A and B are shown apart, each in its own frame.
Chain A
Amino acid sequence: MQASTSSAGVLDAALDRLGRIGRFLWSAWIGLAALSLIAALWQLGHEIFGDFVLPAPLPVIAHIQAIVAAPESHPVILATAERALVGLALSLLVGGGLGLVIGYSPAAIRIMRPVVTILIGVPPIAWIVVVMIWFGSTDTTIIATVVAAAAPLLLIGAAEGVITRNRGLDDMARAFGAGPLRRATLGLRQAATTLFPALMMASGTAFKVAVMSELLTNAGGVGGALADARATLDVGEALAWVALAVALLLLVEYGLMHPVRSEFERWRSAAQPWGVKR
């Protein structure tokens, strides 16, 4: 009896997961529709402004195919992806971790708020100049710039999540004998609500800043390829590289972050009306 109910439970869970994966993949059509819309506007721009200013989407797609097919461009793309992702991971570790700790301390929040405002206010380009003097044209320069730009966002996201947590749950957990560590995991779990949007923003920032600082420091990667395209005034090539950088971001966001987030926030989708879900 017990065994049969538990195996039915496993089957239920498997079906539920399959359904959710199916829904997620099905939603790709909407993404495709949005991309087609952008392509249509792009085509319109091309027909108005001409080939030199804005090449048509189809030749650029051919460019992208050529870049992806060429083995020598793979390390270029991978370099940018690695720098952005390492920077993002460090930002999450430093900014997110610090934010969680700060969220629990009202005094620390008051001190950190102006500091964070200043950090966000400093343009990434200023960091690039300073960091380049420190580290030269290396991976470290790019990663440090990414961290400087992305960590404050994650710090705010994490701290805000802990601050706005439901304190009633802390009391509940304490009433049932949970120690400080288990109560902290409760706060961490609730911080996910604000941490995920911050993480999406930070991942966009990470890729943007990585490409920009590569371009400015001449450190290779997609930014370096963009600099070459600029030097030869090849707009098609430049657009192809930009599209690739965006594609990388989309890959990280929809391949990694959205699935993790929907796993974390399954209860939220349970509350959504049918029409919003699909």
Chain B
Amino acid sequence: MSVLALHEIGHAYFGRTVLDRVSLDIGAGECVALVGPSGSGKSTLLHIAAGLLTPVRGHVARGYRRHAVVFQEPRLLDWKDARGNIAYVLRRSRLSSRALGARIAAVAELVDLTPDDLKKFPVELSGGMRQRVAIARALAIEPDFVYFDEPFSALDVGLRQRMQDLALGALLRRGAGVLFVTHDLMEAARIAHRVLVLAADGCGVAGERAIEGAPLARDARASFDCAQRFLTADPLFAHLNDVDERRVL
């Protein structure tokens, strides 16, 4: 049973086609990583799936109840402290102030934010902590589907792994679906059930590979080997870093 189905999606910015005939299906409780060369339209596809962009062609079927998005940048409200930022997205759920406090405390604990951190404004927090607030905000609405748009690319390796465990662990345990856009194949190999590769020109999904073992249970060695195998032996991933090379020339 799929909770997110994109059918023949096509999109263009000012007449320049960035996506064409892209279809994908994500099942309940499934974590799908979407990779592709830079500029292949990964983020655009995620924005379309999340309903932030209306595609020129094709349609999106959403079978989940409620989604959340974690963007590449934290996108916090500067004028609210961390608690206020999390509470901002909970306003629609009409919780009593006690339930609201409990919910915020619970998600803050999940991403390792102390009650003291919650009182700070975004400007007083480090980059990693801001992103953790953004993750807590996404988890707070108890989504059953979450979109991640290269959320950890600004974090260092150690913190990145911890954030993967914190954010995705909580979601996958609850059976939520995840679409995770990344350009880091190592990351994809660690967290996903399945890796989808977007074609370099955005014309459809070039292919997909299932990854052995459960997400997050794989150790660094296994995900590194998997990523290496993909990059060296699998023709599907041959063009993954192409665009960057062209840029260097």
| Residues in A lying within 8 Å of B, measured CB to CB | 2, 6, 12, 166, 168-169, 171-172, 174-178, 186, 189, 264-268, 270-271
Q: Given the known A-B contacts A2-B101, A176-B141, are A264 and B79 also in contact in the complex, defined by CB atoms under 8 Å? A: yes
- Apart from A266-B121, A267-B122, A271-B124, what are 12 other A-B pairs with CB-CB below 8 Å? A2-B101, A6-B101, A12-B119, A175-B67, A175-B69, A176-B68, A176-B88, A177-B66, A177-B92, A178-B92, A265-B79, A268-B123
Inter-chain contacts of A271 with B (CB < 8 A)? 121, 123-124
Name, among B67, B68, B73, B78, the residue most crowded by chain A CB atoms within 10 Å (CB to CB): B78
CB-CB under 8 A from B89, the residues of chain A are 176-177
What residues of chain A lie closer than 8 Å to B67, measured between beta carbons?
A: 175
| Docked complex Cα distance between A270 and B81 (Å) | 10
Q: Judging by beta carbons under 8 Å apart, are B79 and A267 in contact? A: yes
Contacts of A176 in B (CB 8 A): 68-69, 88-89, 92, 137, 141
Residues of B within 8 A of A270 (CB): 120-121, 123-124
Q: How many A-B residue pairs have CB under 8 A?
A: 59
Instruction: Enumerate chain B residues within 8 angstroms of A266, measured Cβ to Cβ.
Output: 79, 121
Establish whether residues B98 and A2, one from each chain, have CB atoms under 8 Å apart when the complex forms.
yes
Tell me whether B77 is interfacial, beta carbon within 8 Å.
yes
Say if the beta carbon of B152 comes within 8 Å of chain A.
Answer: no
**Per-position binary interface string of chain B over residues 43-69, scored 1 when its CB falls under 8 Å from any chain A CB and 0 otherwise:** 000010011100000000000001111
Interface residues on B, range: 20 to 34
Instruction: Flag if B68 contacts A175 (CB, 8 Å).
Output: yes
How distant is the Cα of A12 from the Cα of B81 in the complex, in angstroms?
A: 14
Task: Report if A169-B124 is in contact (Cβ < 8 Å); known contacts: A2-B101, A175-B68, A176-B69.
Answer: no
Q: Which of A172, A267, A268 contacts B71 (CB 8 A)?
A: A172
Report the minimum CB–CB distance from A86 to chain B (whole Å). Answer: 30
Tell me whether B75 is interfacial, beta carbon within 8 Å. yes
Evaluate contact between B98 and A174: CB separation under 8 angstroms. Answer: no
B124 to chain A, nearest CB (A): 6
In the assembled complex, the CB of A262 is this many whole angstroms from the nearest CB of chain B, namely 12
Pick the most buried of A169, A175, A189: most chain B CB atoms within 10 A of its CB.
A175
Q: Which residues of A contact B124 (CB under 8 A)?
A: 270-271
> What are the nearest 5 A-B pairs in CB distance?
A271-B123, A175-B69, A267-B121, A176-B89, A172-B75
A168 touches B75 (CB 8 A): yes
- Provide the bound-state CA to CA distance between A254 and B73, in Å: 37
Chain B's closest residue to A9 (CB) is: B119
B58 vs chain A, min Cβ distance (A): 20
List 17 A-B pairs, Cβ < 8 Å.
A6-B101, A169-B77, A171-B47, A171-B52, A172-B75, A175-B69, A176-B89, A177-B92, A264-B79, A265-B79, A267-B78, A267-B121, A267-B122, A267-B123, A268-B123, A270-B123, A270-B124
Residues of A within 8 A of B88 (CB): 176
Interface residues of B in 79-109 (CB under 8 A from A): 79-81, 88-89, 92, 98, 101
CB-nearest residue of chain A to B83 = A9
Residues of chain A within 8 A of B122, CB atoms compared: 267
- Report the Cα distance A183→B228, complex, angstroms: 44
- Find the A residue at minimum CB distance from B124: A270
**Contact indicator B52/A175 (Cβ below 8 Å):** yes
Q: Nearest-CB distance from B101 to chain A (Å)?
A: 7
List residues of chain A with CB within 8 A of the CB of B77.
Answer: 169, 186, 189
Tell me if A189 and B79 are in contact (CB < 8 A).
yes
Chain A, Cβ-Cβ closest to B47: A171
Return the chain A residue nearest B105 by Cβ: A5
Contacts of A169 in B (CB 8 A): 75, 77
A264 partner residues in chain B, CB cutoff 8 A: 79
| A189 proximity list for chain B (CB < 8 A) | 77, 79
- Across the interface, which residues of A come within 8 angstroms of B73, CB to CB? 168
Nearest CB in chain A: distance from B53 CB, A: 9
